[in-house]
Chain A
Amino acid sequence: AQSVTQLDSHVSVSEGTPVLLRCNYSSSYSPSLFWYVQHPNKGLQLLLKYTSAATLVKGINGFEAEFKKSETSFHLTKPSAHMSDAAEYFCVVRPPLGFGNEKLTFGTGTRLTIIP
């Protein structure tokens, strides 16, 4: 079984300040973890993924996330927020490849607002 908890439903930061979106997961195996982003009227876009390689994962648009097994966390960060980062962000878990199960399990989403 697997589950994801996004600890904040809404986060507001000022432009140019750091972003932290928190995610904790629960899994009975070593999962693959993802962050997806959805801008208004757009599809879900993959930001980054962790699949048991390096624990610090770099994604697009300056985002990165660190996999911490001891804390079962996969928080998303960005050093300096930009207005274009305003969107909804989803933390996602899935079983590793070869597990015979490809369904993604989503968190409830965090809506990021950027204050000018």
Chain B
Amino acid sequence: EAGVTQFPSHSVIEKGQTVTLRCDPISGHDNLYWYRRVMGKEIKFLLHFVKESKQDESGMPNNRFLAERTGGTYSTLKVQPAELEDSGVYFCASSPRGALAKNIQYFGAGTRLSVL
């Protein structure tokens, strides 16, 4: 069974450009989460989807960030326009719904975003 897959693994862009990160969760997982680690800081929660609905987006830093999960399968996280402070590693995680979740979130390898 494939794990959580993230694309690209590394992205280098200039300030003001747009970048779109993609996450493919484990097949059948209704829950999808985005987290971010800015250099030198802890990994922080961004938002949580249940299927295609945003359950909790309290961690989104500002309106330059837009997350979508059309059809409840893969998700994209767009940053437009990117700023220097957006640099970091963006992680995606997924888990099944309800009791099957067993309280565990499964993580991808992350996308390293460098804004120059």
Chains A and B come from one and the same complex: yes
Give complex CA distance A44, B35 in Å.
12
Give complex CA distance A101, B31 in Å.
12
With A43-B110, A97-B103 already in contact, the answer to whether A103 and B4 are too (CB < 8 A) is no
Give complex CA distance A23, B111 in Å.
27
Cβ of A102 and Cβ of B44 under 8 Å apart? no
With A101-B56, A104-B35 already in contact, the answer to whether A51 and B44 are too (CB < 8 A) is no
Give complex CA distance A2, B74 in Å.
29
Question: Which A residues lie within 8 Å of B4 (CB)?
Answer: 43
Residue of A nearest to B5 (CB): A43
Interface range, B side: 20 to 34
Cβ of B3 and Cβ of A108 under 8 Å apart? no
Cross-chain pair count, CB within 8 angstroms? 56
Cβ of B109 and Cβ of A42 under 8 Å apart? yes
Taking the nearest CB of chain B, how far is it from the CB of A41, in angstroms? 7
Give complex CA distance A91, B110 in Å.
18
Question: Which A residues lie within 8 Å of B95 (CB)?
Answer: 102
Give complex CA distance A90, B104 in Å.
14
Partner of A49, one of B33, B44, B56, B104: B104
Q: List 14 A-B contacts (CB under 8 A).
A: A4-B42, A32-B103, A41-B109, A43-B4, A44-B91, A49-B104, A102-B105, A103-B45, A104-B33, A104-B43, A104-B93, A108-B41, A108-B42, A109-B42
On B, residues with C-beta under 8 Å from A are 3-4, 31, 33, 35, 41-45, 48, 55-56, 58-59, 91, 93, 95, 101, 103-110
Q: List 12 other contacts, CB 8 Å, given A51-B103, A103-B58.
A: A34-B104, A41-B109, A43-B91, A43-B110, A44-B91, A90-B43, A102-B31, A102-B55, A103-B48, A104-B33, A104-B105, A106-B43
